[in-house]
Structure 1
Amino acid sequence: MRFGKSALQVILLTSATLFCPLVSADDAPSPQQALQNFGIGAAQIPQLERGEIVGYDVSETSQKELAIGVAMIMPVGLPQLADYIKKGKLNAGESDILATGMLDGNASIDSFKKLAFTEKQLDEAKAFLEAEPGDEFNLSKAEFDSLKSLQAGLNDADNKTLLKTANQKYREFLLQRLQAYKKSGLAGIAPYSRDGGTADPAAELRNDAVNSKAWARYFPELQQAWLNYPAALPANASEQFLWLNRRVEDRPTAVLNHRVIAISEGGGIVVSRQFYVGHSYNSSHVVAGGLPYKDGTLVFYSIRSSTDQVAGMGSSLKHSIGREQMKKEMIKRLQRLNKDMKLKPATVAAEE
C-alpha cells in the first residue's frame, strides 16, 4: 500500500478539536505534571516558553502503528482557543476536504447524501462495485459479498446507474457501521477483509485506548467509558459523531469519526477515534488537551494511527519516515492556528 502525505492529512483531521475546555480544576494535572507525563523533559520547557513547538515520543503498540505527539504554549487564554476550534475554523481552507457532516441520533441514509462519488470519480465508483478482498478498499467480508451479489444485475447498466448504485451501497455500509458501533462500541466494528487475512481496527483502537495512560490517571472514568463505549459517559462529557469525505492519495475516502469532550474551568481534553476509514489506513486515535499555563495555554496532542503500509520488510525505516511526515503536518496545523490567532509565527524547536 502507498503511504502518502494525503493519508497523513486525513489522520490529522481529528486534531481539529484540540482545545476544548478538561475535567475539574482539582483533578486536572498541572502543566508541569502534564509535560512530565508526556515525556517532555525539563530542557524543553524553555523552548516551549519561547513559543517553539516541541515533539515528544508516544509508544507504538504494533508494527502497524505510527505514533507521535507535539506541544506548544500559546499566549492566549483557553476560552479564546476553545471558541476558535468550536467554530470549525481549524479546518477552514483545507483543499482535501470534499465534504463533511455531523451525525445526530436520527442518522439515516439521507445523512450521507453529500457523501458521493461524482461523475469525475466514475472509475472509483466502478472499482468499488467490483471490489474484492485486498487493500484497495477497507470492507468486511459481508460487505464484499453484498457487492458481489449486485454485480450480475449491473452487467448492462449505464454509467448513471452505476454511479447511483455505488453511492447508495456505500451509504448503506456507512450507516450500518455507524449503527453497529453505536450499539456495541469497539465490538461492533467489522474487520477489513484482506487477501488471505484481515485487518482489525477494533483491536487497534482498543489497544490505543488501553495505552492512553498519561491522561487515564486523571480521568479514569472517561478512559473506561471510552474503552467500553457505549458505556455511559461522565456527566461533564459530551460526544459528537461526524462523517467526512476527503481526498487521500488522490482518491476520495469516507471516514466515520467519534469524539468525546470533557469540559470544566481547569482545562479541556478530547479523545477522538476514526472507527472506519475507506482506504489507505485502518484507524486513528487522538488524545489532546489544553491547560492554562501562566498567562497563556499549554496545548498538546498525540496521534496513534494504524496502517498496513508501515509493517513488513523495512518497517523501521517506514516508521521513521511516517512519523516525520506526521509530525510535520501536526506542526503546520499549530503554526496555522498561531497565524489565525494573529500571534507571532510559531517556530519549531531544534532536534536534540
Structure 2
Amino acid sequence: MPTKTRLAAAVLLGSFLAVTPATAQDAPSPQQALQNFGIGAEQIAQLERGEIVGYDVSETSQKELAIGVAMLLPVPLAQIADYIKKGNLNAIESDIIASAAIGANPSSESFKKFAFTDKQLEEAKAFLAAEAGDEFNLSKTELATLKNLQAGLEDADDKTLLKTANQTYREFLLQRLLAYKKNGLNGIAPYARDGGSADPAAELRTDAINSKAWARYFPELQQAWLNYPAALPGNASEQFIWLNRRVEDRPTPILNHRVVVVGETGGIIVSRQFYVGHSYNSSHVVAGGLPYQDGTLVFYSIRSSTDQVAGIGSSLKHSIGREQMKKEMVKRLQRLNKDLKRKPATVAAE
C-alpha cells in the first residue's frame, strides 16, 4: 500500500464518543456484548490486565475499512460521560488543527476558524482550480461555482486568492450542513469523480444498516439515525461539530454529526462524518460503554470508506489499512485512559 493510503487509513477515525441506550432495559450485559463481538476467554483475560483487544467488523464494500477495539477503562462510566460532555475529546487527537461545535443557527461565520494559511497558499490555489477527481471531495455544483470564480481571479494577488478560497470553502461547508440538517442522508451531495462519483450518503446508509450488533438493543436509535432528521429518542441529544484535521499533511474540513444519550447502565455511540474534504469519503463510528467490575468496558468500532483501498491489490491494501486504523484507535484509547486518570472529571449531580 502506498504511503498516501497508509496515512489516510491512519486518520480515517471519527471522534470517540460515549452514548447510552434509549431505555435502561435495552442495555446488553457485558457478557452479552463480549459474546456478540466474538471476544473469548483469552481476550477477556487480556482486557482485565488492562490490554486493548481487537475484534472483527464486517466490511460492506471494496472501499470500506472496518475494525473494532475494546478496552476496560478503570474509571466509572459517569466519569467518561462527564469528560466527553465537557468537550475534552480533542485532547486525545493529535492531528486536529481546529474544531468547534456548530450552534443552532449556523452561518459561514460558524467556520471562520477554518482557513488556508499563507503557508498553504498552493493548497488554496489548487482548491480554486479543482476539477472532478479525488484531490478534493466536491460536488458538480461546487465545482461549477469554482469554475465561475476563476475568470474573475486571473489577475488576483495572493491575498485575494487566499481570502476567496477561504470564504468559498466556508460557504460550501455551510450549504452541506444545512442540506444534511434538512434532508439527512438524502441531502448529502455526491463527490464528483473523473468519469463517475463517490456517494457518501449511500456508504453511511449501508453502515447504519449493518451496525447489527448494537441495533438489536437500540432499534429506535438506529431507525432515527437512518431516517434523520426524524425525531431522536427522548433522552438523546445531538451535536454538530466541524473539524480541520491534518490528513496527509493537508488541511481537511470535516462535518461531524454526533448523538449522545447518557445513563447509568451502559452506552452506545453513533457518530458520522458526512463530509470530508479529501482522502476518504465518509466515516461511521459506533462505540459503547458498559459498567464492568470497578470500571467501564468500552467498545469502539469504525467503518471508513476510501477509494484508495479499492481496485488492484485491494486485499493487501485492506489488510494494511486495517492494521494502521487499529494502531491509531489503540493510541486514542490509551490517551483517553491516561487523560482520565491524570485529570479525573468532576461528575455532575444527576
- TM-score normalised by the chain length of structure 1: 0.93
CA contact (8 A) 2:92 2:332 kept: no
What are structure 1's unaligned runs of at least 5 residues?
344-352
CA contact (8 A) 1:22 1:269 kept: yes
User: Which residue number in structure 2 is paired with residue 144 of structure 1?
Assistant: 143
Structure 1 position 81 matched with structure 2 position 88: no
User: Which residue number in structure 2 is paired with residue 123 of structure 1?
Assistant: 122
Give runs of ≥4 in structure 1 deviating > 4 Å.
none
For residues 5 and 95 of structure 1, the distance between their equivalents in structure 2, rounded to whole angstroms, comes to 17
CA contact (8 A) 2:242 2:254 kept: yes
Structure 1 position 248 matched with structure 2 position 262: no
For residues 271 and 322 of structure 1, the distance between their equivalents in structure 2, rounded to whole angstroms, comes to 22
What are structure 2's unaligned runs of at least 5 residues?
343-350
Between the aligned residues of both structures, percent identity stands at: 78
Q: Supply the RMSD in Å over aligned alpha carbons.
A: 1.5
- Equivalent position amino acid for 2:8 in 1: A
User: Which residue number in structure 1 is paired with residue 55 of structure 2?
Assistant: 56
For residues 33 and 161 of structure 1, the distance between their equivalents in structure 2, rounded to whole angstroms, comes to 59
For residues 340 and 242 of structure 2, the distance between their equivalents in structure 1, rounded to whole angstroms, comes to 27
User: Which residue number in structure 1 is paired with residue 98 of structure 2?
Assistant: 99
User: Which residue number in structure 1 is paired with residue 274 of structure 2?
Assistant: 275
For residues 240 and 3 of structure 1, the distance between their equivalents in structure 2, rounded to whole angstroms, comes to 31
User: Which residue number in structure 2 is paired with residue 314 of structure 1?
Assistant: 313
Partner SS for 1:172: helix
User: Which residue number in structure 2 is paired with residue 205 of structure 1?
Assistant: 204
Which is further off, 202-211 or 98-107?
98-107
For residues 320 and 27 of structure 1, the distance between their equivalents in structure 2, rounded to whole angstroms, comes to 34
For residues 266 and 95 of structure 1, the distance between their equivalents in structure 2, rounded to whole angstroms, comes to 31
User: Which residue number in structure 2 is paired with residue 349 of structure 1?
Assistant: none
CA contact (8 A) 2:21 2:218 kept: no
User: Which residue number in structure 1 is paired with residue 225 of structure 2?
Assistant: 226
Partner SS for 1:52: coil
Which is further off, 238-247 or 85-94?
85-94
User: Which residue number in structure 2 is paired with residue 347 of structure 1?
Assistant: none
Aligned residues: 341
- C-alpha spacing 1:93/1:118, structure 2 compared with 1 (3 Å): farther
Which is further off, 297-306 or 90-99?
90-99
Deviation at 1:13, TM superposition (A): 3.7
- C-alpha spacing 1:331/1:99, structure 2 compared with 1 (3 Å): same
CA contact (8 A) 2:271 2:286 kept: yes
- TM-score normalised by the chain length of structure 2: 0.94
User: Which residue number in structure 1 is paired with residue 13 of structure 2?
Assistant: 12
For residues 6 and 240 of structure 1, the distance between their equivalents in structure 2, rounded to whole angstroms, comes to 28
Partner SS for 2:202: helix
CA contact (8 A) 1:239 1:258 kept: yes
Partner SS for 1:341: helix
For residues 114 and 7 of structure 2, the distance between their equivalents in structure 1, rounded to whole angstroms, comes to 18
Deviation at 1:9, TM superposition (A): 4.8
CA contact (8 A) 1:263 1:269 kept: no
User: Which residue number in structure 2 is paired with residue 303 of structure 1?
Assistant: 302
CA contact (8 A) 1:5 1:249 kept: no
Deviation at 1:115, TM superposition (A): 0.6
Deviation at 1:215, TM superposition (A): 0.8
User: Which residue number in structure 2 is paired with residue 65 of structure 1?
Assistant: 64
- C-alpha spacing 1:10/1:107, structure 2 compared with 1 (3 Å): farther
